[in-house]
Amino acid sequence: MAKTLPSFDLESYLPYRLTVIAAELSAGLAKQYLARFSISIAEWRVLVNVGYTKGLSVRDIEKRVGLEKSKVSRAATKLETKGYLAKQVDSDDRRLLKLTLTDAGVQLLHELIPIAENYQAGLLQKLDHQADALHAALDKLMEKPK
């Protein structure tokens, strides 16, 4: 005889909903840059983190964006192969590779950022007056425990 499951509303379970919407939002933006620039979601995440945060290593990006180290490494290698990224051994810790944008990487971000900003503008327009409340709620959820 099968046991009954505990009562649980998956559709209103916040971690589930946030995971689903994050995947949908990433995929929506990726559609816009994948065909035109041939970069993946992981490559996008590496590229913008390197571009807007100085002195990052693969390990740093892994922690910042929640991607597995192997995915970050592969994305960084692909970006390096395409000429958008350079890797240098960290002078303080020779086990780490510091990542920097090349001139081509900077140029690529000049083309990608307007796409990302337009995508966000569409999301904010859809949210209307609820955008500030959403940002405040996300800030609260992102606070580190004390």
pTM for the model stands at 0.85
Q: Give tens-digit pLDDT for 34-86.
A: 989 999 999 999 999 999 998 888 888 988 888 888 999 999 999 999 999 99
Q: Give tens-digit pLDDT for 96-120.
A: 788 999 999 999 999 999 999 999 9
CA distance linking residue 39 with residue 78, whole number of Å? 9
Residue 60 in tokens: 């740093």
Confidence (pLDDT) at 91: 75
Domains and CATH numbers, the chain: 38-142 (1.10.10.10)
3-state helix/strand/coil string of the chain: CCCCCCCCCHHHCHHHHHHHHHHHHHHHHHHHHHHHHCCCHHHHHHHHHHHHCCCCEHHHHHHHHCCCHHHHHHHHHHHHHCCCEEEEECCCCCCCEEEEECHHHHHHHHHHHHHHHHHHHHHHHHHHHHHHHHHHHHHHHHCCCC
Which amino acid, residue 115? Answer: I
Q: Is the pLDDT of residue 1 over 70?
A: no
